Amino acid sequence: MSPVVPSLPAAALPWRHAVLAVAVMAIWGSNFVVMKAGLAHLPPLFFAALRFLFVVAPVIFFVKRPAVRWRDLAAYGVLIGVGQFGILFFALDGYISPGLASLVIQTQVFFTIGLAMMLSGERLRPLQWVALALAAAGLVVIARHTDAQTSVTGLLLTLAAAASWACANIVTQRAGRVDMVAYVVWSALFAVPPLFALAFALEGPAAMWRGLQEADAATWGTVAWQSVGNSLFGYAAWGWLLARHPAALVSPMALLVPVFGLASSALWLGEDMPFWKLAATALVLGGLALNLAAPFLRRRAQS
């Protein structure tokens, strides 16, 4: 079945909580530029392995293992570590710009809905078809404007990362309400070994050692930002907000992630923002927003 969305809340977030939500979105959005910076010296799979290594250590000694099955932790760790970030880092290493990656990865919403419906047998509703069509049109616009910064390969890799994220969402949904920080930390145990193994096999020990030798303070700063800022602080703050407010009030803030991603890439990396890119952004975000609003519109029509 489609994700359950609570009834539209009447109140707004308190301003301090709204600022915290925007700060998390700024961290998650600008994180794509941080990834690109880290890839200047570190091979992508090795970079991903280091990211999850420092999510595990030393935090795992201070958080209790969540009350979920080991196989769910393993599945989530592999899907997020290797499937989402391993592929995404590889895509960002010359195949897609950070700004567009922050936009395309949000298609995980549609992959998640599709997987949930496949498991339940439910069909898409008319507004969801329109939302999907809008987002797909945005992806077509991107595919038709490949250049030195973005290729079809990069687009396909980022879509694969989004699909893996969607599979991880289904695993998380099966786990129920858990401490997401503990869940992320313990599941990272299962992301580290395959990422190091893939880095060793595909990138080679020479490239890994060279990356360590060339890494400077800024490079290690990107690793720390990935581990502490993006994973630990981001999930802790997001979980704190969801524990205090209806999901329908908090979740729309996620639409700001690609806004911050595109803006930070344009500001710090000089990513061009031609009309076609703005049009693609409007289409994808429009589809995401319509999908988010669909349950509210349907309930109003039925009332």
| pLDDT, tens only, 136-158 | 999 999 988 877 778 999 999 99
Taking residues 85-105, what's their average pLDDT? 93
| pLDDT, tens only, 201-245 | 999 999 999 999 999 999 999 999 999 988 889 888 887 887 777
Of the given ranges (21-35, 41-55, 108-122), which has the lowest mean pLDDT? 108-122
Global pTM? 0.86
Q: How many Å separate Cα 22 from the centre of its chain?
A: 16
Residues 104, 5, 13, 100: what is their CA dihedral angle, to the nearest 10 degrees?
A: 0
Residues near 137 by Cβ (< 8 Å), separated by ≥ 6? Answer: 283
Taking residues 23-32, what's their average pLDDT? 92
- The amino acid sitting at 119 is L
Question: Are the C-beta atoms of 97 and 149 separated by less than 8 Å?
Answer: yes
Taking residues 115-127, what's their average pLDDT? 78
The residue count of the chain comes to 303
User: If you ran DSSP here, which 8-state letter would residue 10 be given?
Assistant: S
What's the pLDDT band for 189 if we cut at 50, 70, 90? very high
Q: Is residue 118 packed enough to be buried (19+ CB in 10 Å), middle (13-18) or exposed (0-12)?
A: exposed
Buried b / exposed e over 166-199, threshold 16 CB at 10 Å, is bbbbbbbeebeebbbbbbbbbbbbbbbebbbebb
Question: Are the C-beta atoms of 48 and 202 separated by less than 8 Å?
Answer: no
Question: Six-digit token pair at 242?
Answer: 């969801």
Q: Which secondary structure element, helix H or strand E, spans residue 241, and what is its range?
A: helix 234-244
Return the domain boundaries, the chain.
15-124+149-268
